[in-house]
Amino acid sequence: MNKDIFKKDIKDIFKMEVSLKGVLIKVIILLSILSYGYFGLYPQYQKYIVTKNSVKQATEKLNIYKEKTALMPKYEKQLEEVESELKEKSKNLLYDMQDGLFLIGLDKKMKAYNIDLTSYDVGNVREYEHFYGVSTTISVRGDYRNVKKLMAYLEEQKNVTQILDYTMTSYIEPEKEEEETTNNKDLIKNVNINKDTKIYWVEGENKWHLYKDCPLIKEGEILKNDKLLDRSTSYLCNTCVLRAATEKEAKKEVVAPKAEGVVDATFKFIMYTKENTTMILDTDNPSSWRPGKYNPFKSSAK
């Protein structure tokens, strides 16, 4: 008598006969379940893990972007400050370029006037509220009239230079100094002394003085005087002859010196920059300036 399968107890199950066909069916069902799990569910699980990690990374990036976005106003403010600073620095760079143009213009003027630069000295930089000042001293040598023109050129640079002091002296070449020494000796020899020139001497000495107050005559000594007559001029007192020559030169007509000749001049001035700097220079087009070893500030050659 067959019992309902759902009404069988555990004992009835073990009492059932096991057939080969039933075992194969069970094995096939088990393999199907395992295959579905490995080839169907496991790839989906892997995709899930990858997607989960991607979502995690995207979330982290999103949080970073949110933080950066929150800092954008701060970065924008810093950018504005940098742009403002760059603008101010650009102005200073422009002024520095204009100072350089002034020096190039000065060199061109010196070449045009045939003036030599003998020395150039730059002092300390002084900072003011709206500009910088650089103390500068230059020494030049050239014709007096051209040096005066150069001085006028410096004075015209109202927004670039301010002349504080200057000196100007005559330049005498070494050869001319030797010539002047020789001329002084000749002058002593050529004093206008003749037979009627009155002389003084101390009794017992063979030295003729042209002045009774000659410092070589001791106080209290008895002097004699007479005309030179035929006495030798080789015994004339050199001190008296030099004094006579000096007085003779002093009596000559004084002639006002001409505004010419080579002079040494030193100018001390301040180069400075400030807002709205205006400068007009007789300079070439910057594109035509020679780069490399060419030095526009070298001494001008006559």
- Residue-by-residue DSSP string for 159-206: TTEEEEEEEEEE---HHHHHHHHHHHHHHHHT----TT-EEEEETT--
Q: What mean pLDDT comes out for the span 283-292?
A: 48
Structural domain of 204: 174-251
Which secondary-structure segment (H or E) carries 288? none
Q: What mean pLDDT comes out for the span 215-238?
A: 74
Total domains present in the chain? 2
CATH number of the domain residue 155 falls in: 3.30.70.60
CB 277 within 8 A of CB 246: no
**Under 8 Å CB-to-CB from 160, ≥6 apart: which residues?**
98, 99, 102, 271, 272, 273, 277, 279
Residue type at 34 in one-letter notation: L
The residue ranking higher by pLDDT, 5 or 21, is 21
| Whether residues 166 and 178 fall in one domain | no
Q: Where are the alpha helices (DSSP H) in the chain?
A: 10-15, 20-36, 42-112, 144-156, 174-189, 238-251
Taking only the tens place, the pLDDT of each residue in 195-208 is 777 878 787 777 77
| Whether residues 188 and 134 fall in one domain | no
Taking only the tens place, the pLDDT of each residue in 78-127 is 888 888 877 766 555 444 445 556 777 888 888 999 999 998 888 777 77
Q: Quickly state the pLDDT bin for 251 (edges 50, 70, 90).
A: low
CB 238 within 8 A of CB 215: no
| Whether residues 144 and 189 fall in one domain | no
The DSSP string of 125-147 is: EEE-SS-EEEEEEEEEEEEHHHH
Query: Does 73 map to a domain?
Result: no
| Whether residues 122 and 166 fall in one domain | yes
Q: Quickly state the pLDDT bin for 189 (edges 50, 70, 90).
A: low
| Whether residues 111 and 228 fall in one domain | no
| Whether residues 200 and 268 fall in one domain | no
pLDDT of residue 274: 55
Partner residues linked to 268 by β-bridges:
137, 165
| Whether residues 165 and 268 fall in one domain | yes
Q: What mean pLDDT comes out for the span 279-299?
A: 45
- Give the Cβ contact number of residue 238 at 10 Å: 10
Percent of the chain with pLDDT over 90: 2
Q: What's the CA dihedral at 218, 220, 225, 231 to 10 degrees?
A: -30
Query: Does 138 map to a domain?
Result: yes
Q: Is 65's pLDDT higher than 80?
A: yes
Highest-confidence range of 103-112, 153-162, 219-228, 253-262, by mean pLDDT? 103-112
Query: Does 117 map to a domain?
Result: yes
Query: Does 298 map to a domain?
Result: no
Query: Does 237 map to a domain?
Result: yes
Taking only the tens place, the pLDDT of each residue in 32-42 is 777 776 777 77
Q: Is 53's pLDDT higher than 80?
A: yes
| Whether residues 212 and 246 fall in one domain | yes
| Whether residues 139 and 178 fall in one domain | no
Taking only the tens place, the pLDDT of each residue in 255-268 is 444 445 788 899 88
Q: Distances in Å between the alpha carbon of 138 and those of 98, 107, 117, 264?
A: 19, 12, 7, 11
CB 135 within 8 A of CB 148: no
| Whether residues 166 and 212 fall in one domain | no
Q: Quickly state the pLDDT bin for 174 (edges 50, 70, 90).
A: low
Query: Does 183 map to a domain?
Result: yes
Partner residues linked to 117 by β-bridges:
140
Q: What mean pLDDT comes out for the span 220-232?
A: 73
pLDDT of residue 83: 82
Query: Does 121 map to a domain?
Result: yes
CB 237 within 8 A of CB 206: no
Distance CA 200, CA 236 (A): 10
Q: Quickly state the pLDDT bin for 140 (edges 50, 70, 90).
A: very high
| Whether residues 145 and 181 fall in one domain | no
**Under 8 Å CB-to-CB from 202, ≥6 apart: which residues?**
217, 218, 221, 222, 223, 224
Choose one of 206, 223, 251: the last residue of a domain. Answer: 251
Percent of the chain with pLDDT over 70: 63
pLDDT of residue 181: 47
Q: Is 62's pLDDT higher than 60?
A: yes
Query: Does 142 map to a domain?
Result: yes
Which of left, alpha, beta for 39 (phi over 0: left; psi -120 to 50: alpha)?
alpha
Q: What mean pLDDT comes out for the span 69-84?
A: 83
| Whether residues 181 and 160 fall in one domain | no
User: Interior CA angle at 98 toward 93 and 99, to 5°?
Assistant: 95
